[in-house]
Amino acid sequence: MLAADPSRKPTAAIKRALDKPTETAVRRLQGKWKDQGARYLADAQARRSAVPAPARRTSAPYSPRAARQMLEAHRRMQDALSPGMLAAQEMMNSPAMMAAQEAARRLSESPAMRAIEELRSSPTMRAIEELQNSPTMRAMRELQASPAMRAIQEAHAQMRLLSGY
């Protein structure tokens, strides 16, 4: 660790290298480092310089192995989905589907649809929608659906039967 990062303190490197550093183990290794640390560091730097550094890729987000694995997974996924995708593509390009798409396009561009869109975006329709969504109208709908109103309606129906209307 010290050969890779000379700014690191020996005690920090010792604690990081040990799985569960105890105080006695750290003190023992500090003593060894004090006695022969320069030799250990020189040996580590020699070993480090003997091994070629791996090439660093600055533009590739994945290693070649990870890229190959992802590409292979993508190919397997395409192979698995291929029959269904081909069937869907054939259906979308069938004469019946093309005719249905053309009919839908003609309908959406027809004068009747333009008139409907104009009505929906007119100030009168906006006012009607605002009225329907107003708190007063919501309260009236809740009252209409309430159990008390249903009881009143049933009583009114029975009164009409009794009076002959």
8-52 pLDDT per residue, tens: 888 888 888 888 888 898 898 889 888 888 888 888 888 888 777
- 34 and 23 Cβ atoms separated by less than 8 Å: no
- Checking if the pLDDT of 121 tops 80, the result is yes
Is the alpha carbon torsion for 118, 120, 121, 126 positive or negative? Answer: positive
Q: What pLDDT sits at residue 149?
A: 93
Contact 14, 41 (CB under 8 A): no
Contacts of 37 by beta carbon, 8 Å cutoff, 6+ apart: 10
Taking the C-alpha atoms of residue 91 and residue 95, their distance in angstroms, rounded to an integer, is 9
Answer whether residue 131 shows pLDDT above 90.
yes
CA angle 5, 7, 12 (to 5 degrees): 85
Model confidence at 85, pLDDT cuts 50, 70, 90, reads confident
- Residue 54: predicted pLDDT: 66
- Between CA 7 and CA 19 the distance in angstroms is 22
- Taking the complete model, does pTM exceed 0.75, yes or no? no
Average pLDDT, the chain: 86
Confidence of residue 56 (pLDDT cuts 50, 70, 90): low
